[in-house]
Amino acid sequence: MSLCQDRVVVVTGAGRGIGRAHALAFAAAGAKVVVNDVGAALDGSSTSDGPAAAVTAEIVASGGQAVANTSDIADWAGAATLIETALSTFGGLDVLVNNAGFLRDRMLVSLTEDEWDAVIRVHLKGHFAPLRHAAGHWRAQAKAGHPVDARVINTSSGAGLLGSVGQGNYSAAKAGIAGLTLVAAAELGRYGVTVNAIAPAARTRMTETAFAATMAAPQSGFDAMAPENISPIVVWLGSRESAGVTGRVFEVEGGRLSLADGWRHGPAVDKGARWEPAELGPVVADLLSKSPPPTPPYGA
């Protein structure tokens, strides 16, 4: 039996790039796929393209099962419609892959309110809204006595883990997604749901322009930046085999898979009373001497 045979999977932003690769990989693993894509341009503006329908047709032509959905996943009602599409079409929901996003890069001194709000909306609210509606369904199933073996795979970024110069809005949103993943994993485990995240590096519309040299496909040999390299860990995390893994962030690039080691409590000192500002200089210096320097942000 295939790894995800008959599991119902929702993938947001599945019309192109990494999301498309996820949808095709899940279908190849036997899943029934809801292919969500609003058909937006790189900056989030609307287009007349129908990428969700195209990917759905590709899956069906190869013998798989899929349905297209064009809901705006950062809209509360749109996210509800997305989850309902899975339930009404395939009779259930087993996996939610939150992937959709776009960029509006600016240095902080040039970043506008609209550019901030748009990126936070599509990445951060666009993760929360589908997650909230899916979680409501799974909680109802669990409380009704129906076994739940569900998965959520969120999409953070190296920018969210380390920061990225010129991407304050994107970095903040992706850091928020990592934090949301930890909270969701802790809260939803009681209902039979695991929640993990990936931080992928691959060639997409968002990266092939900003990092053209790094993302260029090689003349021959292994294409480390191909988006298809990201999907195997996502398919595995969406399978029944991953039941014991939750609250984790995996960095994925080419053939490299690593486990991100997030914020932890570091060196500490306790005076047992309130500090005076003037005495903190040597105290802070001592704490810093006991801890490795932070990894610099991308582009620093």
| Residue 171 burial (CB count, 10 A) | 22
Q: Where are the domains of the chain?
A: 8-259
Tokens of 115: 């550019």
Tokens of 185: 């994993």
Q: What is the pLDDT of residue 50?
A: 86
pTM of the model: 0.92
Q: What is the pLDDT of residue 208?
A: 52
Residue 199 predicted with pLDDT over 90 = yes
Which sequence positions are flagged as catalytic? 157, 170, 174
Q: In the structure, what pLDDT confidence band is assigned to residue 41 with cuts at 50, 70 and 90?
A: low
- Kindly report, residue by residue over 74-115, the tens digit of the pLDDT: 999 999 999 999 999 999 999 999 999 999 999 999 999 999
- Kindly report, residue by residue over 220-270, the tens digit of the pLDDT: 788 888 999 999 999 999 999 999 999 999 999 999 999 999 889 999 999
| Pairing mode of beta strands 256-259, 249-253 | antiparallel
Dihedral sign from CA coordinates of 132, 183, 125, 67: negative
Average pLDDT, the chain: 93
| Pairing mode of beta strands 65-69, 95-97 | unpaired
Determine the average pLDDT of the residues in 32-45. 78
Under CATH, domain 8-259 is a member of which superfamily? NAD(P)-binding Rossmann-like Domain (3.40.50.720)
Report the distance separating Cα 94 and Cα 157, nearest Å: 24
Q: What is the pLDDT of residue 45?
A: 55
Q: In the structure, what pLDDT confidence band is assigned to residue 217 with cuts at 50, 70 and 90?
A: confident
The three-point CA angle 193-195-196 to 5° equals 150
Residue 212 predicted with pLDDT over 60 = no
Residue 274 predicted with pLDDT over 60 = yes
Residue 154 predicted with pLDDT over 60 = yes
